[in-house]
Structures are given as C-alpha cells and as structure tokens.
Structure 1
C-alpha cells in the first residue's frame, strides 16, 4: 500500500508583507537613505505621454545640474535611436516638462539651455501668483491724467477711470473725442479681422504655455492685433513678432504682448500705382494697336516641317522647304520663236 505524503504549503517570501489582492502588482518597498529621485504621479501615470517620454523624463530628472541632455548624448546612453529620442523630447516640451530657451552669455554668444520641470503645473501656478502679488497698483488720479500712447489696449479702461474721476471732482465738461484720424476705421473686414485676432490670441497657449491669456486680456489686446491685420500683416508675421526671443522670466504675458504689438506695428502698405504708370508697361494706345509687321520676325514653316525660322516671306516656308519645292516642280518648257 502506497504511503501518501502531504505537500507542505508554499512558504511566503521572507520580508514581504502579505497582501489581500488576488492579482496585479504588489509593491515591495525598502527604505532608501540616499540616491533616489522623487517623481510625481502626474508624470509616472501621464495619459498623453508615451512610455519612452516618461522614462526619458525620469532619467533627466535624476541627472545632476549641468549634465548634457542633448539628442546625441541621450542616444549614446540608451539603445533607442535619435529619432525616437527627439520625438520623446518634443513630447515632454509640449506638456511643459522640458523647456529649451536660447540665452545670451558673455561674449555675445547664444546658447540653448534646457530647463527640466518636475511639476510644471505647480511652477506655473506659483509664477502666476507671484505676478499678481507683485503687480504695481497705480493710483486713479495718475491713471486718469495719463494719455495712452496708442488707442490699442488701454482705451476702454482709461475711459472708465476718467469718467469715475470726473464725477468725483464735479467736472461736468464735455468728454474729449479723439480726432477722426485716430478713430479706427470700421470697414467691412473689421469683423473678419476681429475673429482672426481672437483666434490668434486664444491659440497662443498652444505655442507657449506662458501665453495662456484670460478672456479680459484677449479682449484688451484685440484692437492691437486688428491694427496689424489692417496694415496688411499676415497671421504668421504676427505670431513671429510676439513669440520670438521671449525672455525666460515672463512676469506679465499680457503686458509683454501689448508692448510687442505696440512697438512693432508695421506701417500700412502703400497703394500700388495703376498698371499704366508702372515702368515698362505699354500704354493703352499702343496696347490696342496691332504690332508692326517687321516686329514679327519668328514664323512657323508652312512647308510641312515643324521648324521655326526668322524670316518674313510671302509663302511662309523655310529655306529647305523652298528648295525641296523648287526641285520637285517641273521646269517650264522653253518656247522657241
């Protein structure tokens, strides 16, 4: 009779706490006194980033200050190719975890510095809070006495402050009306330009997260962008003018954009002269009259070939076709007298 042997139950791994979960990952965490990097779940569990981008961000955040993070250095460190690493860097830059800025150094040279943000949302919120806290408060009397340089962004707020100041001082004089030359023309394309300007300002945050403007800022900057469009500027020209060479520490995005739009406003395009006044343009009399016959020097051969010859003869045949026709025709009979 065979003897039955009992099988002992599997022994638990020593040092690992038992878990009530039946499947999935079970974390085994050990205390690390040093050599560790804190990574937020917003990065480790990001829904829009690829696995390569998340791993590359963790590696960059673990590097010391001044370590090279260019594509060539990362391609030498990891088995992924340069194209895959470049795509992952663009992903991190689009979501705010990386920021590459050109800065001027001693000697007039420009270098590209890479800023790695471990929590871009918290950094952006802290910068916005500091901007609001450090924003200077201008007294009402000073604002009422200042005349704006251009009736672009501060036209409506200044008018409201002047009305409040006039009521407090008891001045009931007539309101100042700007001269007709300063009043923007409301042509048929004003609404179209206004829609284009609103879409441009609202979409600047797609290019740079620092240009995330409120609706009030967009409404105040609309006349400036409409002025660019009225002067003949294209959408690409406006975007390049306001987003090129942006400083690293941008305290007031709306003020920065207003300054760029005001100082870089191009002049309106001159009206082109009529076609008759352009150099080299034929006059109406000469254009209507047929060209002289001696100017038509190039003609097509009508003798059966496709040659173009520079002659003007009645039969419109080239020299070879005339010779061939003369050889094929019989000679006229000689009449004897």
Structure 2
C-alpha cells in the first residue's frame, strides 16, 4: 500500500509544470467537489494570531449554523485545555473574526449571538454586517409574539451557541486574597522580590509598585506554607492567556485559587501505633484477691470452689 502511494505521488510530481523547487513545500491542488470551506490567507497566514487561534478559526468557519462553539464544546472536541482555547477565542475576538451581537427576540427577551466573520477587514470597510445567504433570520419579522406564560420559555433552536448570564445578574463575590498568619519582614521581602521578578520569566506580567504591595500578602501565605519560590513562580507564569490584559488580576486570581494546603506535620504522617490490649484488675467479691477481668465478680479459684460445692 505504501509503495502504491509513493508511485502515485512520483507520477503526479513528474506531471507538474515547470521546475520543482529544491526545498520547501510543493502543492498538489486537487479541486474539492463537496465538504470544503474557503478560508482566506488573511486568517490562515495571520501574522499576529497563534497557531491554536488560526486552527480554531478555520474549524469554526467550517461548522454549520447553530453549532456550539463555546469553550466547553471546543474542549470536548480538541486536546487543548480550556485556558488555551479561551485565549485563542479572545485572540479571534480581538482581531474581529469572532463577535458577539445582542439582538431582541420576538418575545422581548435579549439574546447574545456568536457571529464569526470570515473577512473582518471587509466588514469594517463596509460598515455593516454581511450575512451569508445560508444563515436564517433569528425570528421572522411577521411571526407574532408568543403569549406570556408562567413558566420560562424553552430555549429555541436558534439560541446562541455561547450563553452568557444577563447583565442584571449579580456577580459572585470575589474571593479574598490569602493572608499569612504573620507578615514578617523576611516574608515581605521575599514575596516582593518574587512579584517584581515575574516579568523576567513572563514579559507580559509587568506589575506596578502598587500591584506588588497589594499582592505581597498572597505570596507570603504561599511562602508560609513552605512552597518553594520556583514553584510559586511557575504557578503564576505557566500557560498565560495571550495577551494577558490585566496582569495583576491574573496573579491575584492564581494566588487565591491555586493556594496549596499546609504541609502535614510529622505526627500526621507517622503510622498509627497499635497499643496492646490491657485488661483491668478487679477485686474478687469472695476472697478479695486481685484478678484481671473486664467485669467485676469472683476470681477463678472462687468460681471453681463454687462449682465443686
């Protein structure tokens, strides 16, 4: 089978017009007749998008209308983790490929639609949204509004793939920054040095003096729990979103949610010692001699005499 493929490739290369390059890729372009997507080079060869963002952009562009393209759906489809996929979606949104449009449905409810634009530059020049003919309208204009019902309306099939909470929903309270039991001068100095040195390991994590002063207790709490400075640095700089818009918020979030538990003590790690069973001493009710028994009563001698009598 491998030999047949090799022979077919050799014949195709021999039929290509013109001299072949000495190195680099050689294209064999066979026209598609079904199941294909036209992708512009502005996306496939984008100079500022990461390879993950380009791949997800091509994947989204190839999907039919109504497909789920949220972080959970893409994580279930690809091997990349949620953080890398979320960062790639933010890249596509920053460069105009991915957009979220707010529309009002016929029943008066607001919905957020996830829109992928295959030519953001043309969209900006036109100053309007260009919708492909295959995209059906969200709700027909002539459709009457449904009557009010006591129960919530079921989610229509055209509901946006990415669901966001309404703007009126209260945000959960932010978890407090970890605090050490005692912020000693030594802990403060080491924590300050770790925070100020982050930009040497991640160029985007440039913190101001005010940010460092605010985050010192969080790093001190890690140091108090005997976490090595290198481990703290790795937890704060690994797998960062590109680009991180708010470095101080990212550092604060990771210091809070990734805080490890205190190290167990030697007594907690030591195996449990099995103590020998000790039967208490009792005084015989007959002869007042001592004998071992869990319950008070007569010794063996008194029991034997009673049995013989």
TM-score by length of 1: 0.34
Larger C-alpha radius of gyration, 1 or 2?
Answer: 1
Q: Larger % of helix: which?
A: 1
The answer to which structure, 1 or 2, has the higher relative contact order (CA under 8 A, 6+ apart) is 2
